[in-house]
């Protein structure tokens, strides 16, 4: 048994060495095949090999197998250069030129977001005092010019109007009486002037008789008195006629309606009628009423006290306050584009209506004192008014809404100052 087992051990060792050497060779061949792009084959042991395994030649058992051959790994491949880099280098000057062009030709649009919608608003009131009888509108209702808003109790105003009309009728009768009295005065003047020749003749007769001592002195004195009285009667009648003519406005033939007393009475009637009309308060313009709940039926409303507010729906503008440094090239009449924060995507067109002659801080209660020791320079804001040209067909605008105003000044930014100076110097040298 010992003789039969001893020769098997070296044979097993030689087989193991052969398998190990074959595996190393196959592994190296597999790596070369992967680098060369071949299609490997798989042997019985599950390892890839570019060539099918050949049966090893039987060698004498006494000779050892050659050692495994080690193949050095190949050098790493050089990475390919990216094509984006030259493209970026080519686009860089184009981008610089395009950016410089847009910088030079741009800058003509002045934009400010310090802008808000303003609308004409009014505290609805009346100049007569009275008790509220009726309210014809409700809160946030749209009204047209002339629509009735509320009414005061009209009883006291109707009574005053009736009294004024009665006084007007009385004055009319008085004027007609003055006209008749004036005509009577003229008749009295004619009568008195007609009596004067008679009294003059009687006086002359008595004077002639007195010279011949035919008539008595008493009769002469009586005739002389009658003549003087007749002449004074004419003077009195003329004075009375002149006084009546003055009351008739210097023209006795003028219509009654043009007499000063009649006009005074008529003004009282008109004033009473106005008070009655003002008891019914109407909308002075198109708009929307608000805060109507502050007025209740039965409340006594003093004259000139606002009852509620009326905000116009047609007289709307943009009140903007850009910085003083942004108004260099802004002028009235320039066109503007308006965007409202509450309506994204909607655009309105307007016109610069006016620019304030002073900054907002100039009208403050405590304006800035630049001569004080703690003065700090602050960029001021100048109020500007922009009218809206196309409000029709657009969403409704409400006072106080935020807006963004862009004004086309028509003045491009141009070249920077240092570039302009260089060009001037170059031009002078050339």
Structural domain range at position 161: 156-268
Establish if 10 belongs to a structural domain.
yes
211 and 262 part of one domain: yes
Residue 64's φ and ψ, nearest 5 degrees, are -80, 155
- Residue 25 pLDDT: 60
Closest CA to 277 of 125, 128, 147: 128
Establish if 367 belongs to a structural domain.
no
- Residue 38 pLDDT: 46
Q: Give exposure, 252-270, as e/b (b: 16+ Cβ within 10 Å).
A: beeebeebebbeebbebbe
- Residue 43 pLDDT: 46
- Residue 29 pLDDT: 63
164 and 64 part of one domain: no
β-partners of residue 360 are none
- Residue 3 pLDDT: 42
- Residue 55 pLDDT: 46
With a cut of 50, list the residues of the chain below it in pLDDT. 1-14, 16-17, 37-62
| The dihedral formed by the CA atoms of 160, 164, 165 and 170, expressed in degrees to the nearest 10 | 140
- Residue 80 pLDDT: 59
63 and 164 part of one domain: no
Residue 21's φ and ψ, nearest 5 degrees, are -65, -45
Q: What is the pLDDT of residues 275-302, one digit of tens each?
A: 999 999 999 999 999 999 999 999 999 9
187 CB-near residues (< 8 Å, 6+ apart): none
206 and 66 part of one domain: no
Distance CA 273, CA 26 (A): 125
The model scores a pTM over 0.85: no
The secondary structure of residue 300, as a DSSP letter, is E
Establish if 391 belongs to a structural domain.
yes
**Cβ distance 154 to 276 under 8 Å?**
yes
User: How many domains does the chain divide into?
Assistant: 4
- Residue 96 pLDDT: 82
Distance CA 232, CA 85 (A): 131
- Residue 237 pLDDT: 84
- Residue 34 pLDDT: 62
């Amino acid at each position: 048994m010992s003789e039969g087992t001893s020769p098997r051990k070296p044979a097993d060792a030689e087989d193991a060495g052969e398998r190990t050497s074959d595996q190393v060779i196959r592994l190296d061949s597999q790596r070369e095949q992967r680098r060369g792009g071949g299609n490997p084959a798989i042997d019985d042991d599950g390892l890839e090999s570019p060539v099918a395994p050949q049966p090893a030649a039987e060698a004498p058992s006494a000779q050892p197998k050659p050692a495994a051959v080690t193949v050095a790994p190949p050098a790493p491949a050089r990475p390919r250069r990216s094509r984006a880099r030259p493209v970026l280098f080519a686009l860089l000057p184009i981008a610089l030129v395009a950016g410089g062009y847009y910088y030079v030709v741009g800058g003509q649009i002045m934009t400010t977001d310090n802008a808000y919608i303003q609308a004409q608003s009014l505290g609805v009131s009346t100049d007569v005092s009275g008790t509220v009888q009726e309210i014809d509108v409700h809160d946030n209702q749209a009204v047209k010019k002339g629509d009735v808003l509320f009414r005061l109790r009209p009883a006291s105003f109707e009574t005053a109007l009736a009294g004024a009309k009665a006084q007007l009728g009385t004055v009319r009768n008085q004027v007609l009486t003055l006209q008749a009295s004036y005509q009577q005065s003229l008749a009295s003047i004619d009568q008195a002037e007609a009596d004067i020749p008679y009294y003059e003749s009687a006086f002359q007769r008595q004077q002639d008789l007195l010279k011949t001592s035919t008539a008595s002195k008493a009769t002469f004195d009586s005739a002389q008195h009658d003549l003087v009285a007749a002449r004074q009667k004419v003077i009195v009648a003329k004075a009375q006629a002149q006084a009546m003519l003055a009351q008739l406005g210097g023209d006795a033939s003028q219509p009654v309606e043009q007499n000063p007393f009649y006009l005074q009475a008529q003004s009282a009637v008109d004033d009473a009628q106005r008070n009655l009309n003002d008891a019914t308060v109407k909308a002075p313009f198109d708009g929307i009423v608000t805060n109507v709940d502050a007025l209740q039926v039965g409340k006594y409303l003093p004259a000139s006290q606002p009852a509620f507010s009326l905000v116009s729906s047609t007289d709307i503008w943009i009140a903007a306050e850009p910085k003083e440094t942004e108004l260099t090239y802004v002028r009235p009449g320039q066109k503007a584009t308006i965007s409202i924060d509450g309506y994204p995507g909607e655009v309105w067109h307007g016109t610069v209506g006016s620019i304030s002659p002073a900054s907002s801080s100039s009208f403050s209660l405590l304006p800035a004192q630049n001569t004080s020791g703690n003065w700090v320079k602050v960029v001021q804001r100048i109020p500007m008014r922009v009218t809206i040209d196309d409000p029709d067909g657009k969403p409704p605008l409400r006072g106080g809404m935020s807006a963004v105003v862009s004004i086309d000044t028509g003045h491009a930014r141009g070249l920077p100052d240092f570039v302009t100076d260089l060009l001037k110097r170059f031009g002078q040298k050339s």
